[in-house]
Structure 1
Amino acid sequence: MTLEPESQTRRIWRGALALTLAAFVTKMLSAFYRIPYQNIAGDVGFYIYQQVYPFYGVVIALATYGYPVVISKMIAERDVERDDEGMTYILKISLYFLLIIGMIGFSILYIGADWIAQLMGDKELSLLIQIISFSFLLFPFISVLRGYFQGRNNMVPTAVSQIAEQFVRVATILLSVYVLLKSGHTIYEAGAGAIFGSLTGGFAALLFLTAYWFKRGTKRKKTVIKKTNIDTKKIIFILFVQGFTICIANMMLILIQFVDALSLFSLLVSTGIEEQTAKVLKGIYDRGQPLIQLGTVIATAFSLTLVPLISGAKQRGDERFIEEKIRLSFRVGIVIGLGAAAGLACIIKPTNIMLFKDASGSFELAILSGSILFTSLALTMAAILQGLGHQWAPVFAVLIGVLMKWLLNLWLIPMYQIAGAAIATLISYMTVFALLYYTLRKNIKSSLINKEMTFRILLALLAMIVLLQFYLWTSSKFAFGWQTTRFFASVQALVGVAAGGCFYIIAVLKGNVFSKQELSLLPFGEKAMKFLFKNDR
């Protein structure tokens, strides 16, 4: 019996690790599949898909990061009390509540598809919007089942369902667009086939979750559902308020994409650009989305590992520990985010050719690369603030950032076209970051990073930039006519990533930006210490 608490703790940590790995795998897949998609469908095909993708992004936020978390908290409270009737009642009310939201989302998109497509400036998107609307009918069941399992400290079903959903979805997308285009269908019909992947992925997730429901014996004997001591209005209030705040905080990237989907193409056309050219320009601009997402995933993979430690310290009331780990999280975000943003900007041209076949839009993509720093820091700080109990600060910051993006699009796109959209995106993410930084600094009442650490990081960054610029100049100088080939660009980009990244990280670590104790808390930190400090006693 004495081993039970320890066993429970191990189970919680294994579950947290499973969710973390699942989130990392799904986000990497979500970033990478768009590259072969663009290669198959071209920039216009990519434009078509990206116009509708934000609607699916909202469904993912609701079914993965929002409501399962809220439901799991309520289930966990009843699980501790072994209140089976209470858990059943929470699941029932949650399902009814989410079905209403799902039906509203479905109705708006399905019935209003023509109007939304017209608002986007492209009536042919109507069918794709109608297809994506069916995803809103699946998410209530997925959310409730994930919330139940997470509330019972069983994270495996959620992790497996997330990975299965993404794998099936990506396979459907790539197979559909390839087969439909090869068989002579239009680019919009191929886009509709790709969007169908959102449904096949959702069904795959629901299938796995349902299998776990029966397999784990969670189908209990029928009981008379009683309210016991649970207030129905309280459940609905928690779902509405907490679900909203968590979802909005995790929708930052999607909402910014939403603004571009609604305004960029139509603004380009309104300035006199021919529609087909505007579609190509939007598709070229959308190349930046997987790059931002990929860079942000890598950057936050390190800094977000510290958030559970901060949340645990909050429960213990250990203010000193909280401040130390917040500063460390911020420093990690600065180091990885700054390195990824600047490094990508330096090698953006060969990277663009390697991934998307040509160098179109490299200048605009270099501007968008800067967003990696601010998105990774903003997402890290939003998670920290939510862990500290400041639920509304991230919501306020994200909504202000979205409003800023909309206004800047209206101002900058008519003047600078997609470069204006890139500048608007960068400034919007900077705004979100600035608001969250102000809130977090006010909360801990001191600076998040000192001048000495800032100088060391910038020195390492400058050294990396000089190294990459020299490498690009030298490799291009001795390319012997291979500069324009995709193979040469791929070699140049990959070697640049490896050389620049390794040099930068070694410079940061040798500059003592992190102590040995701090490194031990980070992924691969102990291995880095053994490599860098192997001669130290």
Structure 2
Amino acid sequence: MAINGESRNASIWRGATVLAIAAVVMKILSAFYRIPYQNIVGDIGFYIYQQVYPIYAMVIALATYGYPVVISKLVAEQAEEKNEAGIRYVLQVSFWFLAVMGLLCFGVLYVGGGWIARWMGDEKLTPLIRTISFSFLLLPFLSVLRGYFQGKNEMMPTALSQVAEQSVRVATIIICSYLLVKTGHTMYEAGTGAIFGSLTGGFAALLLLSAYWLRSARSLYFYEASRLSAQSVIRYLFVQGLTICIANMALTLTQLADAMSLLSLLMEKGIEEQAAKAFKGVYDRGQPLVQLGTVVATSFSLTLVPLIAGAKKRGDETFILEKIDVTLRVALVVGIGAAFGLAALIRPVNIMLFKNDAGSWPLAILSLSIFFTTMSLTASALLQGIGYEQFAVIGVLIAFISKWLGNLWFVPMFGIAGASWATWLSYIVMFLFLYQVLRKKIGVWFIRKKDVYAVMKAALIMVVSLKLYMWGTQLWGGSRLGATGQALLGVLLGGSVYIIMILRGKLFSPKEIALFPFGEKLCIFLGKIGDEK
């Protein structure tokens, strides 16, 4: 039995790793495609797309992180009891529940698309909102199939479907927008073409999942009596599904707050409509930068969440403390390094990625929020791992309300820089709340003063090095090619200085460093530094 238990744990770990890798690939694709898209459609075209993107991100949260996880838990429970009839019953009830939910969401967005667009301050967004409404019709199919495979601990179908969905979607966005702009269509028509990618991506994922399903000759339509109650399944889906979805919507809901309020606030400030749209598009350049800045640390926490959850069930408090501690230290190091490094290099990075340096100051402010964003998302993932999802949900709602209020306060005074300050406010408040909850539930202060001092010292030395480098290479910034060279060499310089200082600060033990990518080589390097001393 011990061997079987170890084999099962190893299988669960492999499955979690596969899903974590897929999540990283999705996040990278989701951030990177916006750069060529902005280059094709410009700032106003980018504003148009970013206004409706949060709605699609909700579909992704529901069909990727929310309902598949909940359904998988129900399926896994029935699989443990070898109750195939129970598994089929769970899938049937889940499908019809999500079909009703998908139809309701579709109806609200399609019929109410004009009202939502007017609330956003731009009635021309109506066709985009109506196009994206069709994505909700795919929700029951994607969620049930992914939930089934995950419940059976077959993670590859889910992982491949996620990557396929994002890859086909990105390809559709780039190709459609390029062709529509080249053939003289409006930016709103190009935006509608880009939004169409949500449908092509969803169908690609559905085809792949269906192929896996049919290959195993399974059927959703064979009904047998079950001891399960439909009411209990629906209640579990409704409560747990929404809880997990909202807990993973921090970035989405803060972007939604911007979509609903920023344009109107800029126009109330006296900015002409077209100029306000361009300003919003410039501000939106920061979204992929923030997303990329948080990928490394949050991906590390994703791989640890199932392990921490398993340790919680075993009652292994020592393991939980160790993993939470190292995860928060990774988030601290990566978050501060990414935030200060990007802020120091924001002008050449802005020119390299988006053609010009428009909005570099507001983007620098937004870049600094990467630290609190990273810490907030990491703390949220850890709370979910130890079974306190409800506090992660409260944290996200606090961030959304803080962002909305922050926009109302700061945008009239500072324009899009005010929206950046509002993002700061939202994630500071979210992190302080989640960290206090985590500390009280675990009973330990995880972030030590000596660690903060060592990281801030490393960041300060990195920033000084980058400022001297920027001063010495300022003649490069006159062209996009020169700015590209300046940015890439700056990233290499800043990253090298920062990593060396972090290693010298001994924030991680050799055993912990060995867990990181290229960890063994870093351990050898760390040993050489110790010998020199």
TM-score, normalising length: structure 2: 0.97
Give percent identity, aligned residues only: 57
Structure 2 unaligned blocks of 5 or more: none
Match of 1:85? 85
C-alpha displacement of 1:9: 4.0
Aligned partner (choices 512, 520, 524) of residue 530 of structure 1: 524
- Confirm or deny: 8 A CA contact 1:302 1:523 kept in the other structure: no
Match of 2:271? 273
Output the CA distance in 2 between the equivalents of 1:484 and 1:334. 35
- Between stretches 208-217 and 86-95, larger displacement belongs to 208-217
Matched, 1:33 2:30: no
Aligned partner (choices 238, 244, 251) of residue 236 of structure 2: 238
C-alpha displacement of 1:520: 2.6
Aligned partner (choices 387, 390, 395) of residue 388 of structure 2: 390
Distance 1:235 1:433, change over 3 A: same
Output the CA distance in 2 between the equivalents of 1:89 and 1:306. 32
Task: Trace 1:421-500 onto structure 2 (pairs within 5 A).
Answer: 421-476=419-474, 479=475, 482-500=476-494
Output the CA distance in 1 between the equivalents of 2:412 and 2:359. 17
Task: Compute the RMSD of aligned alpha carbons.
Answer: 1.7
- Confirm or deny: 8 A CA contact 1:368 1:425 kept in the other structure: yes
The superposition leaves residues 241-299 of structure 1 with CA deviations (integer Å, 9 ceiling, x where unpaired) of 11111101100000000011011111111222111101100000000000000111122
Match of 2:293? 295
Instruction: Give, as a single letter, the amino acid of the residue that structure 2 aligns with 1:65.
Output: Y
Match of 1:21? 21
Match of 2:260? 262
Output the CA distance in 1 between the equivalents of 2:67 and 2:496. 39
Task: Trace 1:202-241 onto structure 2 (pairs within 5 A).
Answer: 202-219=202-219, 223-228=222-227, 230-241=228-239
- Confirm or deny: 8 A CA contact 2:17 2:303 kept in the other structure: no
Output the CA distance in 1 between the equivalents of 2:125 and 2:311. 49
The superposition leaves residues 389-443 of structure 1 with CA deviations (integer Å, 9 ceiling, x where unpaired) of 1121011111111111111111211111111111111110111111101101111
Distance 1:57 1:159, change over 3 A: same
C-alpha displacement of 1:5: 5.2
Instruction: Give, as a single letter, the amino acid of the residue that structure 2 aligns with 1:96.
Output: W
The superposition leaves residues 467-511 of structure 1 with CA deviations (integer Å, 9 ceiling, x where unpaired) of 1111111111xx3xx421001111111111111112111211121
Distance 1:409 1:2, change over 3 A: closer
Distance 1:521 1:309, change over 3 A: farther
Aligned length: 531
Match of 1:49? 49
Output the CA distance in 2 between the equivalents of 1:287 and 1:491. 20
C-alpha displacement of 1:524: 3.2
C-alpha displacement of 1:2: 8.9
Match of 1:107? 107
Output the CA distance in 2 between the equivalents of 1:67 and 1:369. 32
Instruction: Give, as a single letter, the amino acid of the residue that structure 2 aligns with 1:56.
Output: Y
C-alpha displacement of 1:141: 0.7
Match of 2:364? 366
- Between stretches 490-499 and 515-524, larger displacement belongs to 515-524
Distance 1:218 1:313, change over 3 A: same
- Confirm or deny: 8 A CA contact 2:97 2:234 kept in the other structure: yes
Output the CA distance in 1 between the equivalents of 2:461 and 2:300. 22
- Confirm or deny: 8 A CA contact 1:306 1:521 kept in the other structure: no
Aligned partner (choices 308, 313, 322) of residue 320 of structure 2: 322
The superposition leaves residues 22-64 of structure 1 with CA deviations (integer Å, 9 ceiling, x where unpaired) of 1111110000000000000000000000001010000000000
- Confirm or deny: 8 A CA contact 1:305 1:522 kept in the other structure: no
- Confirm or deny: 8 A CA contact 2:265 2:412 kept in the other structure: yes
Secondary structure in 1 aligned to 2:201? helix
- Between stretches 283-292 and 388-397, larger displacement belongs to 388-397
- Confirm or deny: 8 A CA contact 2:301 2:382 kept in the other structure: no
- Confirm or deny: 8 A CA contact 2:31 2:289 kept in the other structure: yes
- Between stretches 13-22 and 106-115, larger displacement belongs to 13-22
Task: Trace 1:326-405 onto structure 2 (pairs within 5 A).
Answer: 326-405=324-403
Structure 1 unaligned blocks of 5 or more: none
Output the CA distance in 2 between the equivalents of 1:198 and 1:427. 31
TM-score, normalising length: structure 1: 0.96
